[in-house]
Amino acid sequence: MKQSPTVLIVDDVPENLRVLKDVITALNCQISFANSGERALALLERTQPCLILLDVMMGGIDGFETCRRIRNHPIHKDVPIIFVTALADDINRGFEAGGNDYISKPIRVEEVRARVMHQLEKFQLVNELKELTTSLEEKVRERTANLNLANRNLRKEINERRYMQDRLKYLAQHDFVTQLYNRDALDEHVSHIISEIQSQSIVHTPYFVLIDINEFRLINDSCGCIAGDELLHQFAILMSEHISPQRDFCARLSGDKFAIAISAGSEIVSSFFRLLEESIKNFVFVWDERQFRISLTQVAVPITEEMVSFEQVIMLADEVCYSSKKSGVLSRVVKNANDLAYEEHRGNLNWGLRIIDGLEKDLFEVHFQEVLSLNGADTNKKVEILVRLKDENTGKLIYPNDFIRAAERFGIISKIDRWVIHNTMKLFSERESLWESVDQVALNVSALSVRQSDFAQFIVEQLSLFQLDGRKFCFEITETEALNNFTDTRNFMSLLHESGCSIALDDFGTGFSSFAYLMDLPFDLIKIDGMFIKDMHVNEIHYEMVDSIVKLAKMLKKPVVAEFVENQNIVNQLKELGVEWGQGYHFHKPEKL
């Protein structure tokens, strides 16, 4: 009797283990559990898993390190690993660590089962292929004496092996929902096109097409993921009717995103867009007797010799798609590469790559601005840390307003947060006199960072690494994000309080705070948003807003910091209202730390 495959689930949250167990129990699998990466590595020999579901963020070694160690294991290095993560930024890191697939949180039952069955089938085919290869080698030795019979059997078995190899190659290169090529296959194809462009062996400018189904989330959320998968499958068939297999390479990227590499000029792309739009007008998706009309956002960018990687092409196309949606232009073909350069100059394209280059080449700088006591009673010296990006070509400083949006857009803002925290603490540890002269150092952290389960621990580890007193650090979180992600924020605040750090609610007044929520958040001070401060001496509404926030802070017994203090009139009014601290160009212009 054939033994059921064993699936090892690795997660340090018992509820997650239970949910995943309930989801895959129906697949007739034996299930083992591990609550840490170390425990998972210890269980490999005993459980002999055929598949590992691996959480990213865990105590001890994280999922990425666990995956790398499994890949170095002499026996279990080929066991398929599916990462389970809530962050898009973790997906690429998971593949780099050696993962085979990923499952997004919150999990969807049918997606989990489909991906699990997909990887189990691949693993079974690989093992059968190995066994068959071993068997073939043995049979060749045994049956040399009877060549006719051996040849007949060998031909049959070789055909079987070829079928399995072809099937494995197909599974490795195709998306199981739509049967189109997957992201890996598209990466290989586009990289080949880029190589040909660099060698100047292409006559027509190839195009990269990105297509989004605008109503996919509505249908997927209201009707369920099975309906969503069926919509993707039907759309893939409809789209395939208008492509040429000899000319076009069609793939599903992720979610409702499709991509096509078209080896032809802009006129062919424009014609394809028109044909696809006509087909969509006549297409109706039916589910549970309910009818849905859909629309697309479709953009195309030329693949030029300035593009050096698949990731750069994806990022450019994604940004054009994003700006097209924002402007309401749902179909766009960029015919001239100079159009891309113009938009990039305006800051709408390629910022993600510039930020990554900045991190890799250490082009970011730590600056600071002093925060002054308004009543003169408090002589403590406070500073806020600010980040700047140096232009590699001109040496000029680029301010956060120019690149923070792109960092948030591409999910790399937390990389900047980590860089700033690490380098700020490093600088203070190297300059003892500076560290002794400062009583508080304020650092901004993004919502994306707060949501990462290991971010607070990262801060604690940096304090330990540089042997700095956590009581001197204050971490600022925007009011809106604090309330939008209340549970994550509260956990983050509590963990940092254990190390002596304080917490400020930044940009206060721009959100929609509930007094009950504020009472339940363990923050230490309030920073009033500068939009109310900078003109409060001439804007009565903003003055009253500041007055209200100060009164609320007094009720909560929290000190207040006012940002964007730009003249003495503002200082006088803040003193009258009882604001304790001020920050702005009137007191101190930011300078390099």
- Each residue's pLDDT tens digit, 374-384: 887 667 789 99
- Each residue's pLDDT tens digit, 272-305: 899 999 998 899 999 988 888 888 888 888 888 8
Amino acid at 212: D
- Asked if 127 and 5 count as a contact pair (C-beta separation under 8 A), the reply is no
Rounded-to-integer distance, Cα 250 and Cα 235, Å: 12
Rounded-to-integer distance, Cα 508 and Cα 61, Å: 37
Within a 10 A sphere around the Cβ of 395, how many other Cβ atoms?
Answer: 8
Within a 10 A sphere around the Cβ of 362, how many other Cβ atoms?
Answer: 10
Task: Give the pLDDT score at 346.
Answer: 47
- Each residue's pLDDT tens digit, 147-205: 666 677 767 777 777 777 767 776 777 888 888 888 888 888 888 888 888 877 677 78
Q: Is the pLDDT score of 565 beyond 80?
A: yes
Question: Pairing mode, if any, of strands 207-213 and 248-254?
Answer: unpaired
Task: Give the pLDDT score at 337.
Answer: 61
- Phi/psi for 317 (5° steps) reads -65, -40
- Each residue's pLDDT tens digit, 323-346: 777 777 788 888 776 665 445 444
Task: Give the pLDDT score at 501.
Answer: 94
Rounded-to-integer distance, Cα 351 and Cα 405, Å: 9
Rounded-to-integer distance, Cα 405 and Cα 148, Å: 71
Task: Give the pLDDT score at 516.
Answer: 55
Q: Classify each residue of 264-291 as buried b or exposed e, where b means 16 or more C-beta atoms within 10 Å of its C-beta.
A: bebebbeebbeebeeebeeeebebeeee
Task: Give the pLDDT score at 348.
Answer: 44
Q: What is the CA radius of gyration of the chain?
A: 29
Q: Is the pLDDT score of 441 beyond 90?
A: yes
Question: Across the beta sheet with 248-254, what order do the strands follow?
Answer: 248-254, 257-262, 207-213, 296-302, 331-333
Half-sphere exposure of 15 (CA within 13 A, CB side): 2
Class of domain 6-172: alpha beta
Task: Select 352-592's CATH number: 3.40.190.290, 3.20.20.450, 3.90.1150.10, 3.40.50.700.
Answer: 3.20.20.450
Rounded-to-integer distance, Cα 535 and Cα 562, Å: 12
CA angle 229/230/233 to nearest 5° reads 90
Rounded-to-integer distance, Cα 130 and Cα 489, Å: 50
Is the domain defined by 183-348 classed in CATH 3.30.70.270? yes
Question: Pairing mode, if any, of strands 51-55 and 81-85?
Answer: parallel
Q: Is the pLDDT score of 450 beyond 80?
A: yes
Mean pLDDT to the nearest integer, 442-457:
87
CA nearest neighbour of 5 among 125, 102, 101, 99? 125
Q: Is the pLDDT score of 561 beyond 80?
A: yes
CA nearest neighbour of 408 among 350, 352, 483, 340? 352
Mean pLDDT is lowest, of 25-29, 204-208, 378-382, 496-500, for 378-382
Q: Is the pLDDT score of 357 beyond 60?
A: yes
Beta pairing partners, 138: none
User: Boundaries of CATH 3.20.20.450 in the chain?
Assistant: 352-592
- Asked if 416 and 443 count as a contact pair (C-beta separation under 8 A), the reply is no
Mean pLDDT to the nearest integer, 222-250:
87
Tokens of 1: 């009797």
Within a 10 A sphere around the Cβ of 211, how many other Cβ atoms?
Answer: 23
Distance of CA 161 to the CA centre of its chain: 39
Task: Give the pLDDT score at 425.
Answer: 95
Whole-number Cα distances in Å, 353 to 309, 398, 463, 572: 11, 15, 30, 45
Rounded-to-integer distance, Cα 261 and Cα 269, Å: 10
Within a 10 A sphere around the Cβ of 37, how many other Cβ atoms?
Answer: 24
Residues 6+ apart with CB under 8 A from 53: 7, 8, 9, 10, 11, 20, 24, 82, 84, 103, 116
User: Boundaries of CATH 3.30.70.270 in the chain?
Assistant: 183-348
Share of the chain above pLDDT 70, in %: 91
CA angle 218/223/228 to nearest 5° reads 70
Amino acid at 170: Y
Rounded-to-integer distance, Cα 463 and Cα 455, Å: 13
Per-residue pLDDT band at 510 (split at 50, 70, 90): low
Q: Counting Cβ atoms within 10 Å, is residue 63 exposed (0-12), middle (13-18) or buried (19+)?
A: buried
- Asked if 367 and 388 count as a contact pair (C-beta separation under 8 A), the reply is yes
Instruction: Give alpha helix (H) positions in 89-177.
Output: 89-97, 109-142, 147-173
Mean pLDDT to the nearest integer, 484-508:
85
